[in-house]
Amino acid sequence: MQFSSLFLSAVLATAVVAKGGNKTSTKAVTDKSLCKEMAALTKIVSLAANTTKLADKTDNNATKIAEIQAKASDASTQLSTMSTNTTLVSTCATIDAAQKTESECKDMKSLQSLVSLAANTTKLSAKTDNNATKMAAITAKAAKAQTKLDAMTSNTTLTDACATIQTAKDAKTGTKAAAASASSAAASASSTATSAGTMLDAKTGLISTIVLVAAGMMML
C-alpha cells in the first residue's frame, strides 16, 4: 500500500535525523525541536514494540522489520537519555497540549465549514453540480458535524484558547484591527489559552473552504 511505504520512509527518515543527535547541524536546537525528536523516537520505539503494526506497515517484510527494530534500539537508548531531563519532558508536555488545542481549533473550523456549506443551498448545489445524491451525503455529514461541533463549542476552555490563537494569527497576518478588538478577550483567556497562543508558532495562510470541508468530513 502506498500509505504504508510513505509512512515507512517517514519513520526511517526521522530515525536518521534523530540519530544525528548532537552532530553539528545548521538547524538551531530548540525545545521544540528536541520535543519533536523525542516524539519521533517514541514513535519508532512503539512501532517496533507492536508486532501487528510492524507487520502491517512493512507488508511483513523481514528486512524492513529488522531495520526498524535496529533503529528502535538506538532510539530507545537516546530516548532514555533525553527523558532524564525532567525540565525538557515537562516543556514537551506543555507544547503537546498546545498543539492538541490548536489541532482541535482547526477541527472546529473544518466542522463549521461543513455545516455552513450544507446550510447554504446555493453553495451546496454549486459544489455538487446539483447532484442530489452528493447533496444528501453532505447534509448527512453536516448533521454529524454539528453534533461534534456543539460538544466542542460547549468547552469554553477550548473556545477561549482558539480565540487566543486566532488573535495571534490575525496579529501576524497584519489585520491589526481584528487583533486589537480581540486583545481584551485574549487578556481574559485562561492560562491554557495563553500558553497555547504563545507556544504555537501561529501559522498564517488561508485554508480554502474545500480543504476545510474535506478535513471536516474525514473527522466523522
Ligand X SMILES: *[C@@H]1O[C@H](CO)[C@@H](O)[C@H](O)[C@H]1NC(C)=O
Taking the C-alpha atoms of residue 204 and residue 210, their distance in angstroms, rounded to an integer, is: 17
**Is position 87 an interface residue for ligand X (rule: CB under 6 A)?**
yes
Q: Which is nearer to ligand X, 67 or 178 (CB)?
A: 67
- The grid cell for 1 is 500500500
Count of residues that bind ligand X according to CB under 6 A = 28
**Contact set for ligand X, span 107-136 (CB under 6 A):** 120, 122-123, 131, 133-134
Q: Which is nearer to ligand X, 164 or 169 (CB)?
A: 164
**Contact set for ligand X, span 145-204 (CB under 6 A):** 155, 157-158, 161, 192
Least gap, CB of 88 to ligand X (angstroms): 4
Is residue 167 within 8 A of residue 186, CB to CB? The reply is: yes
Is residue 1 within 8 A of residue 55, CB to CB? The reply is: no
Among 72, 98, 101, 114, binds ligand X (CB under 6 A): 101
Question: Which of 196-217 are b and which e, b meaning 16 or more Cβ less than 10 Å from the residue's Cβ?
Answer: bbebbebeeeeeebeebbebbb
**Contact set for ligand X, span 13-72 (CB under 6 A):** 21-22, 31, 34, 50, 52-53, 56, 61, 63-64
Least gap, CB of 205 to ligand X (angstroms): 21
Is residue 117 within 8 A of residue 209, CB to CB? The reply is: yes
Residues 6+ apart with CB under 8 A from 211: none
The residue with cell 495562510 is 205
Chain contacts with ligand X (rule: CB under 6 A): 21-22, 31, 34, 50, 52-53, 56, 61, 63-64, 85, 87-88, 91, 101, 104, 120, 122-123, 131, 133-134, 155, 157-158, 161, 192
